[in-house]
Amino acid sequence: MSAPTAGPIPLANARERVAERMWAGQKRLVDAFEEIDAHGRFKASSWERPGGGGGTARVLEGGAVFERAGVNVSEVYGDRVPDSIVEHRPSAGGLPFYATGISMVIHPLNPAVPAFHANFRYFEVGDGADWWFGGGADLTPIYGRPEDAAHFHGALKTWLDRHDAAHYPRFKDWCDRYFYLPHRGEMRGIGGVFFDDFTPSGDDGWTAAFALVDEGIRALEEAYLPLVRRHKNTPWTDEHRAWQLLRRGRYAEFNLLYDRGTRFGLQTNGHVEAILMSMPPHARWQFQHTPEPGSPEARTLALLQPRDWA
């Protein structure tokens, strides 16, 4: 795959400007998640990467609403681009790099509340002439509800349509294909949007890409938090919990087998605890488990295929 043609970076302090928005986004989201949980508090753990850079993981565990919630920011750099990047961008092989990003994973306690993942990232390779943004957000309901999927996708579409009406259908399809478990033949959840190698051409290409990502970080609250408020007090049973743990097993399978962010973090000697923060605190596997036909669990599985939610 050849690298897209990128326009020039208009700012001498481009890296600093992007990183500042990542750190500001972390604070904003941590504050929002703490407010809605009302019991749990995030603990911070900063780390330094051998070879250059570091970051701060902020993790809440054992909350009233969130069994585990993590919002991480990293800035790393080095003499050689990791293999996980070279695999889809061969022109970057052997060159120095800089990368910064924000990532978050939410595993709620109540099975009625969907799990949530989002990340935004920025890369520069070599002398900075080769740069790109990436990111996205996706929703993993334990019990699927079409109205939740419509709200989530609608909020993401509203954000993207303000920049280019072609973004949402393209990025949605990309997400449907990316968050897919081929060995299971099913999506991880009901999708969302995902993009990578985002390098709009022209003299204002970098500025346009930065604006999209900057607004995207802020759009996450509107996409996800109303769903938490809607379902956090829904009664649930041991049977609901057992199904939640089975679905979390699928989540773990994807993160360990296919997620490029996990592979990038491990290949760059990142903080292992911060990288694996995305894993659910509890999960379960059961041999050849099949939900009863017509059950809420079976109806949820039927939703885990690409469809036009927005």
Q: DSSP states of 187-228 as a string?
A: ESSS-EEEEEEE---STTHHHHHHHHHHHHHHHHHHHHHHHH
Asked whether residue 139 is assigned to any structural domain, the reply reads yes
Is it the case that residue 301 has pLDDT exceeding 90? yes
Tell me whether strands 130-140 and 180-181 are parallel, antiparallel or unpaired: unpaired
What is the residue type of 64? A
The reported pLDDT for the residue numbered 5 is 55
pLDDT tens-digit readout, 49-85: 888 899 999 999 999 999 999 999 999 998 888 777 8
Looking at the whole model, is its pTM more than 0.95?
no
pLDDT tens-digit readout, 189-204: 999 999 999 999 887 8
The reported pLDDT for the residue numbered 265 is 79
Q: Where are the alpha helices (DSSP H) in the chain?
A: 14-37, 83-86, 146-161, 167-178, 205-231, 238-257, 260-267, 272-275, 296-303
Average pLDDT over residues 207-225: 97
Residue 162 · residue 181 · CB < 8 Å: no
**What is the C-alpha separation between 84 and 61, in angstroms, rounded?**
30
Asked whether residue 3 is assigned to any structural domain, the reply reads no
Task: Provide the domain limits for residue 64.
Answer: 14-303
- Residue carrying structure tokens 């970057």: 92
Residue 205 · residue 7 · CB < 8 Å: yes
Asked whether residue 278 is assigned to any structural domain, the reply reads yes
CATH number, domain at 163? 3.40.1500.10
Average pLDDT over residues 237-253: 96
Is it the case that residue 140 has pLDDT exceeding 50? yes
Q: What share of the chain is helix, strand, coil (3-state, %, to 5)?
A: 40, 25, 35
Asked whether residue 8 is assigned to any structural domain, the reply reads no
Asked whether residue 9 is assigned to any structural domain, the reply reads no
User: Based on the structure, what is the number of domains in the chain?
Assistant: 1
Catalytic positions, written as ranges: 117
| Contacts of residue 200, Cβ cutoff 8 Å, sequence gap at least 6 | 7, 206, 208, 209
Run of H or E including 46: strand 43-48
Asked whether residue 255 is assigned to any structural domain, the reply reads yes
Asked whether residue 228 is assigned to any structural domain, the reply reads yes
The reported pLDDT for the residue numbered 88 is 74
**What is the C-alpha separation between 47 and 170, in angstroms, rounded?**
36
112-134 CB burial, b ≥16 within 10 A, e <16:
bbbbbbbbbbbbbbeeeebbbbb
Asked whether residue 310 is assigned to any structural domain, the reply reads no
